[in-house]
Every structure is written in structure tokens, then in C-alpha cells.
Structure 1
Amino acid sequence: MPAQSHGQSARGTEPNRARTRLLVLAMAFVTAIHLLTQLFAPAGILADVTQIMLMPLLGAIIIALTSAQRGKLIKLVLIAVLFSWVGDTLPRFMEGDQGFLAMVGSFLIAQFFYIAALARYWRSSVMRHWWMTTPYLGAFTVLVLLCAPGAGALLVPVLIYGVALTAMAIFGTGLGVLAGCGGAIFFLSDSLIALRSFTTLDIPGMGFWIMLTYVVGQAMIGIAATRTEQHQKEKNPCR
């Protein structure tokens, strides 16, 4: 009987592993196509379609890597990924400041859910020693100083979003190096968007770098969350 149960368990996990590999390959392929479009046809339909596909694929990977009984951490991260998808999608049906505010609003909600997911681990984050947060606060301050002159009426929502983004990056360090790096890379992605929108700074291939850091940053946070939940379940198998 134990041998049979083990065999059933092995057979049950194999499709999950296969599905996860397929999802990872699919996301890698869609990401590669999207990054190429950012270099050669950023305003084309292919760029729009592939960007809209990115977050659903990441969400599917996170789901595939976790059990059916997902904890609060994974649920909140999945909601954050969902609102990131809204931020990728909704502005495509709007124009000008309206579209920008829809994007900022959607990603602000995503940041709130990331903060809710990660804040519980603050004791393991750089907040243990206040001086370790200075690089994050310094980066936020420099970003505000650069963008404020060109932000105009959008300065307040941009400031609110920047505070949330900085908090997310700080709290992300509580899940370890992977999530900490992911939060910092995500911060860099949105910083590049702000610099493109409100300054005259011109970085070759800006769209490419924004989307590369966007995907990598969120993927690192998502994977770190799945590892944290798995570790917690191994320590407390009854939970």
C-alpha cells in the first residue's frame, strides 16, 4: 500500500511539473517576442498582444508551482499580478493623461497587494536596521527631484505611487535575496517609465529595458513567494 501511494503521488506530480515547464517555456517565448517588438515595432499589434499575455502566464506559473490550498502570501501576490495585467491592458483603450492615470491606478492597487503580501515578513527585511533602507529612500528622492518639474498636475498621484513602489521594494527583502532583487528591479522598471514620461532623458531601447525589468522583477517576486510558501508548509505540514 505505501508503494502504491507513492506511485500515485509521483504520477500526480509529474503532470504538474510538465505543465509548469510548458508554462515557463511559453512565458519565455512570449517575453522574447515582446522584447523584440519593443526594439523594432513598439506601437504594433504584436507588442500589444504579447504584453497583455505576460501577467496571465506569470500567474499561471505561480498557480502551477503551488498546491490547491494556497496561503495568504500566494493569494495576495496573485491579486497583485492580476492588477498588473489590468495596468497592462486598460490604458490601451484610453488616450493621454486618462490612459496614464489608469495605468498608474492599476499598478498602485497592485503595489498595495504586494505590500500586503510582503509586509508580514518585515522582520527579515532591511527594515531591521533603518540605515539599510537609505538606498531605497535615496533612489526615491532622486527620482522625485528629476521628475517633479515635468509631472505638473500628475505629481501627486506619481508621488503616492512612488511611495508605494518604494515600500514594496523594501518589504520584498523580507523574502530573501531573490524577492529583494526582484523588488529592486521592479522599482527600476517603473522608474524608467517615470523618467521617460516626465524628463527629457533618452535611453536607447527604453521600452525594451522597461519591459525586461518589469517581467524579470515580478517573476522573481512570484517565484520567491512560491518558495517561501513551500518552505512554510514543510516546516508546518498541518497548515
Structure 2
Amino acid sequence: MSAGPLPDRRERWARPLLTAFLIACAVDLAGVLTDTGIAHLVAKPLLMPLLAGYAAARRGPRLLIAALLLGWVGDVFLLADADLAFLLGMAGFAAGHVCYLCLFGRARSALLPAVLYAAVLVAFLALIRDGLPADLRIPLAGYSLLLTAMAYRAGVLGRYAAAGGALFLLSDGLIATGIADLPQLPAPDFWVMLTYVAAQLLLTLGVLAPDARRSGADPGAYRGPSISI
């Protein structure tokens, strides 16, 4: 009689890694909200490696782990207040979005969200254009197009991944409106980080959902995420 497959030893790390990620999120958000620079400086670089570790412990696909680690590259560069660091950080996130797009496969997406996302992209770029430095207009337009495509395609893995893509778009939109000197919410950096970490977590859970992984990004087979810790 077969005893069945042996458990993967990595799975024992899933719970502590996810817990550590959530703790790091709380520390970072508290640091941003209270303007405690050292808390943000220490916690932010830990976020994506911890989430990537959780994805690896859950035997997630390599493209997901790569997307999260490229997000870490973006996070680290954006800690520096310099134009070159901003562009390098944006390049890191852009590469992560390419990983997500490859991960979502070729499953068909609904037409209505495509129209809505396209309208949001055009309106948003028109809104921020005049407030952006001239040398950032083209890079930000290209990045925004890539991010919008990722957010739209995330829907093939169900509502959680779709929400993650939309939150990622919102988070980066808040950053762009700050660069363009448009009106901001109170504590804007808090909302940027809150929507960002929620986006990455929801995208990760959407990709790790057993039904989504079996289906190869077939939206018809998706039944919701499995948060296995």
C-alpha cells in the first residue's frame, strides 16, 4: 500500500514567513503613519523577500517569486530620494509586471474591464501630464501602460488577484499624483504603502490558489484562493 507523497519540508516555513510579512507590514505602516523614518527604512526592504519566501514555501511558481523579488528591487531604490533611483525602481517594478503578465498566461479576459482600464489609463495620463517633469512623461506613460495591462490581466485568476492588480494600479497612481503635485489624501505615504502591500499579497494568494494553478490561468476553473499557512 502506498503511503502517499512525502510532505515538502518547505511548507513548515509558510506560517512563520507569512506572519513575519504581516508584522513587517504593520511596522512599516506604523512607521510611515507616525513619520518614524527608521521603522520604514528597516521594515520596507523586508516585505517582499518575506512574501517571496512564503510563496516559495507554498511551492509557488518561479515567475511569482521573481515578480516579488523585482518588487523588492523597486522598494529599495525608491527609498532613495533621487531621480536615477526612482527610474531604477520603476524599472524593477516594470520587470515584475512582465513576470506577472507571463504568469497569467493566454486565458481570455472579459472585454468590459479592458474598456474601463483603458479609459482610466487615458484619463489618468491626461490628468498628470502637465504636472510631470518633461523627462518623466514618456517613462511614466510606458510604465503606466504596462501596469494597467497587468492589472487587467490579473482578473484571469479570479477576484482576489483582480483586486490585487487594481490596488497596485491605485498605489502607483497615488505616487504619480504626488510627483505631479496634484491634491493628496492625508498621510499619502501611508495609503501608498497600504495599497501596495495589499496588492502584492492578494496577487500572491491568487496565484497560489490550487484551482488557479491547476487550471493554468483558466478563469472558468477558478473558485477562490486557498490561504494555506
Per the TM superposition, whether the score is higher than 0.5 is: yes
Three-state SS of the structure 1 residue aligned to 2:184 is coil
With normalisation by structure 2, the TM-score equals: 0.86
Match of 1:143 in 2: 124
Three-state SS of the structure 2 residue aligned to 1:41 is coil
Whole-angstrom CA distance in 2 between matches of 1:186 and 1:53: 18
What is the one-letter code of the residue matched to 1:81? L
Match of 1:169 in 2: 151
Say whether 1:103 aligns with 2:89: yes
Q: 1:74-153 counterparts in 2 under 5 A? A: 74-92=61-79, 94-118=80-104, 120-123=105-108, 125-126=109-110, 129=111, 131-151=112-132, 152-153=134-135
Alignment CA distance shift 1:96-1:90 (3 Å): closer
Contact 1:121 1:171 in 2 (8 A): no
Match of 1:27 in 2: 21
Three-state SS of the structure 1 residue aligned to 2:107 is helix
**Aligned equivalent of 1:37, options 23, 26, 31:** 31
Report the aligned-residue RMSD. 2.0
Whole-angstrom CA distance in 2 between matches of 1:95 and 1:29: 26
Whole-angstrom CA distance in 2 between matches of 1:163 and 1:57: 28
**Aligned equivalent of 2:51, options 55, 58, 63:** 58
What is the deviation of 1:226? 1.4
Unpaired segments ≥5 residues, structure 1: none
Match of 1:47 in 2: 40
Question: Which is worse superposed, 107-116 or 47-56?
Answer: 107-116
**Aligned equivalent of 1:207, options 189, 202, 214:** 189
Contact 1:30 1:53 in 2 (8 A): yes
Say whether 1:229 aligns with 2:213: yes
- Greater Cα radius of gyration, structure 1 or 2: 1
User: Which digits, 9 at most, give the CA deviation of each residue in 1:15-48, with x for residues without a partner?
Assistant: 6554211111111111001000110125x12201
Whole-angstrom CA distance in 2 between matches of 1:90 and 1:187: 19
Alignment CA distance shift 1:29-1:95 (3 Å): closer
Identity %: 29
Unpaired segments ≥5 residues, structure 2: 222-229
What is the deviation of 1:76? 1.4
Three-state SS of the structure 2 residue aligned to 1:149 is helix
Number of aligned residue pairs: 214
What is the one-letter code of the residue matched to 1:177? R
What is the one-letter code of the residue matched to 1:116? C
Match of 1:216 in 2: 198
With normalisation by structure 1, the TM-score equals: 0.82
User: Which digits, 9 at most, give the CA deviation of each residue in 1:51-99, with x for residues without a partner?
Assistant: 1000001101111112xxx6xxx2112111111100111344x542112
Greater helix fraction, Structure 1 or Structure 2: 1
List structure 1 segments (4+ residues) > 6 angstroms apart after TM superposition: none
Match of 2:227 in 1: none
